[in-house]
Amino acid sequence: MMRKNGVAGRLDRAGILTGAGMLLLAVGVGAPDMALAKETPVNIIAAHVRLQGYTCNEPRSAERNAQASKPNEAVWLLVCENATYRVTLVPNMAARIAVEH
């Protein structure tokens, strides 16, 4: 059933939202807190690397290289257990990734 506020679900006898609406409320309340805890530079950069097909086992650190960075191009050195990557982040584009030796 769709409510006036657009949330799907039903109210049970105690007035508690059940079904899909309950899921939306649970995600809406808990997700931001959990997401903020994981949004660190090392995890964000590692996610970019993984999305582009590279392996990053246990990301350890991410350091921004201020000298190599330019406006709208942030260069990071990402250290993972298995490899070290030089990652250039450009807004609205795929990251440029190079394996460091």
- Tell me: the pLDDT tens digits for 15-53? 443 444 433 333 444 455 555 557 899 999 999 999 999
**pLDDT, mean of residues 2-26:** 44
- Whether 74 shows a pLDDT value over 70: the answer reads yes
**C-alpha span between 10 and 38 (Å, rounded):** 33
Q: Given a cut of 60, is residue 11 above it in pLDDT?
A: no
Q: Which residue has the higher pLDDT, 78 or 28?
A: 78
Which residues on adjacent β-strands are paired with residue 24?
Answer: none
What sections of 17-83 are H helices per DSSP? 20-38, 41-51
The pTM of this model reads 0.63
Confirm if 65 and 45 have CB atoms less than 8 A apart: no
Residues 6-15, mean pLDDT to the nearest whole number: 46
Mean pLDDT of 62-84: 97
- Please work out, in degrees rounded to the nearest 5, the angle formed at the alpha carbon of residue 82 by the alpha carbons of 78 and 84: 30
Q: What is the pLDDT of residue 32?
A: 53
Give the integer Cα–Cα distance in Å for 45 and 56.
10
